[in-house]
Amino acid sequence: MSVIAAKYIARRDGEIFARMTRLIARILSEAAQLGEFGELDLGADDVSVTGLASVGSRKQFEVLDGLASDAEQLGVNLVERGAVLPSEAIAQIYRFFDLTKAMVAR
């Protein structure tokens, strides 16, 4: 989902980006609760910022990077409990973010 959200930054569609990031944050929060990891600070302040749709790509990528970092930490917690996750998944997401940031900077 975060890769799709990055595409909406590139397309400069802030409204859909804002909706996607709220959805990502909610899913991460629910996963943390189901895993009994307690309440995680999932960038809720950034995701709920009024006007996230119009803050510009730099801030939008900061929010998205924060959510990816939260997902990475959640993944570590899951692996510690015995879950098997693809080791390259997060790295691929960050590479896509870098590519998208470069496109947006042009």
- pLDDT 10s digits, 65-74: 989 888 888 8
Is-contact 97 68, C-beta < 8 A? yes
Could you give the residue ranges of the DSSP H alpha helices within 1-106?
2-10, 14-34, 44-47, 57-80, 89-105
- pLDDT 10s digits, 14-69: 999 999 998 998 899 888 888 777 666 655 555 565 678 889 999 999 999 989 88
Number of domains in the chain: 1
> ∠ CA(40), CA(101), CA(62), 5° rounding?
25
Average pLDDT (88-92) is 85
Exposed/middle/buried for 5, CB within 10 Å: 0-12, 13-18, 19+?
buried
Cα–Cα dist 84/27, whole Å: 19
Q: What is the pTM assigned to this prediction?
A: 0.83
Contacts (Cβ under 8 Å, ≥6 apart) of 96: 3, 6
Domain that holds residue 21: 2-105
